[in-house]
Amino acid sequence: MKCDCRDAGRLAAAIEIWLKQHVKEAGTVGGIVGLSGGIDSAVVAALLKRAFGSEMLAVLLPCGSMEKDKEDALLVADTFALPCREIELTPAYEAFLRAFGTPLSPMASANIKPRLRMNALYALAQTNGLLVCGTGNKAEILMGYFTKYGDGGCDLLPLGDLLKCEVRSLARFLGVPSEIIEKAPSAGLWEGQTDEGEMGMTYEEIDMYIATGKGDEKVRTRLERMKNVSAHKRAMPPVCIPF
């Protein structure tokens, strides 16, 4: 059993209108996105190009990254003729780790990468009058599958209400290369890492539960636990009101 996806053409049109509205309200000229080589960033980049033409920027931000991810990101940039640049963050990442003197935990070290990328995107956004567009979809946001103040740090979330099946449908509609659509989703934090492997369930299972509330007990339990423990990621920091 699969959940129904909304029409890709209508989604594309609605998101383009939404992007233009928010960019106009912010007094900016377009949007910027980090191009990872994955499907979500490819879809956001394609939508930004449709909405703003040359007034957008796709940025490759390698940080100890796999060469295949860079190749896939460049394929997306070439496919859509994106305004694009590359900022090599590996030296900054290595210098940052050395500054601590003692090793950090593996996850803390890995999460520095998306936080460095967030800094780079905002520096370029502020310089060029752009809004930072995140690539998180509905499943990732609900489960907290993003780095707080890293890839979760953005101005707009164009895909934030889309199930993963809808992102794939939209990718096909927009003309994202098939190898990007079929690639195993990964944050690229370390060699062999995949989203589904780390989350312990497939996107199909997650989509089904979000859309219908149906799923086996293991999926329901894990999803609800991840949603609850990640609630702080989706909220502004609480303010203490002493009295």
Torsion (CA) 89, 30, 154, 21 in degrees, nearest 10:
-170
Label residue 52 exposed, middle or buried (CB < 10 Å: 0-12, 13-18, 19+). buried
- Which pair of structure tokens corresponds to residue 45? 């980049």
Of the candidates 69, 140, 155, 195, the residue annotated as catalytic is 140
Residue by residue, DSSP assigns 131-154 as: EEB----HHHHHHT-S-TTTTT--
Q: Count Cα atoms within 13 angstroms, Cβ side, for 138.
A: 16
140: annotated active-site residue: yes
78: annotated active-site residue: no
Label residue 134 exposed, middle or buried (CB < 10 Å: 0-12, 13-18, 19+). buried
Of the candidates 40, 151, 166, 207, the residue annotated as catalytic is 40
Q: Which residues are catalytic?
A: 40, 140
